[in-house]
Structure 1
Amino acid sequence: MDSPGTREPLRIGVLGCASIAERRMLPSMLRQPRVRVTAVASRDAAKAASFAARFGGDPVVGYERLLERPDVDAVYIPLPPGMHAEWTLRSLAAGKHVLCEKPFATTLAEAREAVSLARERGLLLMESFMFLHHAQHAEVARLVADGAIGDLRLFSSEFGIPRPAGDAGDTGPRYASTLPEVAAYPLRAASLFLGDGLRVLGAQVRTEGEDGFRVAGTALLTAPSGVAAQLAYGLDHGYRSGYTLWGSEGHLTLERAFSTPDDHAPVVRIERRRRTEEIRLAPDSHFTNIAGAFARTVLDGAGYEPHAEAILRHAELVDAVDTAASRS
């Protein structure tokens, strides 16, 4: 394999034919001129062939075979969370850069092992928090910095998704692996607006079924500045996907903050005393943007460390929340 930063477009292999890859990431990669899908792997030959026919590249049966290909510079991993660390480690060992869906790892130890290997091999490891690449959040940050709500006092965020119709009462393994993915969004958003050094004051988790599958949770955190964060997330809720920043002079709310369609025109709502202002923003494609950011970082051969540090910070925060919830 050639050294980083010498080939364009970036040749990407896809490990798994998950729904998120089919619906969002692969169509977005097709819109990125610096990215080319060269192989799609599945354990099902027909599924691999179907994806390859739609999105390009060669169909490959088996993830190991894709990692052996010399025409793959990097891999995108949309596998279930429990498989992320294993296939990230295998991909890095094979000399491939990695863009992995969140949550990147199920434990802090897994995150540390993968980051250590990426650093050792000089490879990019990026967690696919696509929402961070949507322009709406930068605009919210600018408004807050410019004093739109005065001094920030509280950040609150909720992300909840209803169970599919007919699944009421289902507490199977897919829900056990999905809650950490849902929880990751409000946690990462709190870090985005409050910065590093968040401390967990308390957390709670709700379980269902004889096996105690986790279906909902809440967390209370505080930043070094003293600003608090109240977070809620779950899999048995009416849909919510947003956050509010509450300041000394008003509050700012953004809905559809995390699962934002490409054609959605975000509305930032600011309420101050008796006046309400709604600021409509232009649509943006965060999946297309993160695919471009990943390719640009690899092709430029620089800027890997901030992504490694972000993975570790988030894994540490998740670990602290889990520890607090286990004590409640």
Structure 2
Amino acid sequence: MPQQLRWGVMSTAGIGRMQVIPAIQGSTWGRVEVLASRDIEKARSVARELGIKRVTGSYQALLEDPDVDAVYIPLPNTLHADWTIRAAAVGKAVLCEKPLATSAADAARQIEACARHGVNLMEAFMYRFHPQTRRVQELIGSGVIGQVREVRAHLSVNIMRALDAGNIRYDARLGGGALLDMGCYSVSIARMAFGSEPRRVVGRMQIDAKMGVDTSSAGLLEFATGVALISGSFATDGGDIYTIVGTDGYIEVPRGIIPGYGTRAAEGLVIIVDPDGNRHEERIAPANQYRLMADAFAESVLNRRPVPLPPEDGLNNIKVLDALARSSANNAPEPV
């Protein structure tokens, strides 16, 4: 294994082009060796822009390339499982864009394949690597707000303002919809804050009749020691914010998921409020969470260690998302 992880990237998807590829190229432990796209001219253009040496018009050719150690998969959601399994079969480690899959059954197949072939698999939840999130976890662990009893988490970006019919988020066949695209973050935050899994959920999804996907979703998650209220939308511009309420105060994070965008490394902010209403603000040093994620993954692969965010976390997240979708369809609470 070389001193730097040699990455292959599947597709010229916006998340890769604008955020993950630049992060890898600027990271300590990796570089992008090959970019694959079915539109070879677009691949060449992106490769020139981002300093990638080689391109291919075939995802399979990328997997079979002996100079690629790991792949980043930002393909449409319904393709995550199959291409992860194909990558594992040829010995490539996989950083898979969120959500890990579109069903718990598919996520379990991914995990089994990667374990069987002895390769690392991690879901690309970049916010988990920002020092802001690490600080929130430290504060919860310290007991500064007592026992966590409630979480409120929201993420929305109004991408429908400039409606693009070709956007994969609007295609049910490709795993589109706000619950999988936005709600997955809110569910992840709630599970992280409680440090456990919800037992039962109630979900509501606002389905666009023409597109067949949810444009806004919300849910109530019942944990053994409290509840979480989560929501996500690509029809509103409510930003991203979460609040963790404990028996002795609460923590508020105004930009909890996207403190910075692209290659920008923005300052984080964590607000702690005690029972008397005293407010303490902690400024978190700027950091590129995508670069931190890429380096953490690369170090795990290079040193043959487990990844810091185990794939089972992604499986458990999908189990909750599955239950929320069932609840909305059945108009009834659902077990997780």
Partner of 2:132: 136
Q: TM-score, normalised by structure 1?
A: 0.91
Task: Using the TM superposition, give the Cα deviation of residue 210 of structure 1 relative to its aligned residue in structure 2, in angstroms.
Answer: 4.1
SS at match of 2:135: helix
> Residues 306 and 128 (structure 1 numbering): CA distance in 2 closer, same or farther, change over 3 Å?
closer
Partner of 2:8: 13
Segments of 4+ moved more than 4 angstroms? 170-173
Partner Cα separation in structure 2 for residue 85 and residue 56 of structure 1: 26
> Which of 71, 74, 84 pairs up with 1:75?
71
Aligned pairs for 1:1-328 within 5 A: 6-53=1-48, 54-167=50-163, 174-175=169-170, 176=172, 177-179=176-178, 180-210=180-210, 212-224=212-224, 226-261=225-260, 262-272=264-274, 273-304=276-307, 307-328=310-331
The one-character-per-residue Cα deviations of 1:85-131 (angstroms, maximum 9, x if unpaired) are 12112211222111110011111111111111111100111110111
Task: Using the TM superposition, give the Cα deviation of residue 75 of structure 1 relative to its aligned residue in structure 2, in angstroms.
Answer: 0.5
The one-character-per-residue Cα deviations of 1:197-227 (angstroms, maximum 9, x if unpaired) are 3222311111122453211111111223x12
- Do the aligned residues in 2 keep the contact of 1:27 with 1:55 (CA within 8 Å)? no
- Do the aligned residues in 1 keep the contact of 2:100 with 2:315 (CA within 8 Å)? no
Q: TM-score, normalised by structure 2?
A: 0.89
- Residues 249-258 or 17-26, more deviating: 249-258
The one-character-per-residue Cα deviations of 1:167-218 (angstroms, maximum 9, x if unpaired) are 39x7976334142121110011111111223222311111122453211111
> Residues 147 and 195 (structure 1 numbering): CA distance in 2 closer, same or farther, change over 3 Å?
closer
> Residues 281 and 326 (structure 1 numbering): CA distance in 2 closer, same or farther, change over 3 Å?
same
- Residues 318-327 or 103-112, more deviating: 318-327
Partner Cα separation in structure 2 for residue 146 and residue 119 of structure 1: 34
Q: Which runs of 5+ in 2 are unaligned?
A: 332-336
The one-character-per-residue Cα deviations of 1:245-279 (angstroms, maximum 9, x if unpaired) are 11233322101111221432112222332422222
Identity of aligned residues (%): 30
- Residues 55-64 or 206-215, more deviating: 206-215
Partner Cα separation in structure 2 for residue 49 and residue 123 of structure 1: 29
Q: Which runs of 5+ in 1 are unaligned?
A: 1-5
The count of corresponding residues between Structure 1 and Structure 2 is 321
Partner Cα separation in structure 1 for residue 153 and residue 61 of structure 2: 41
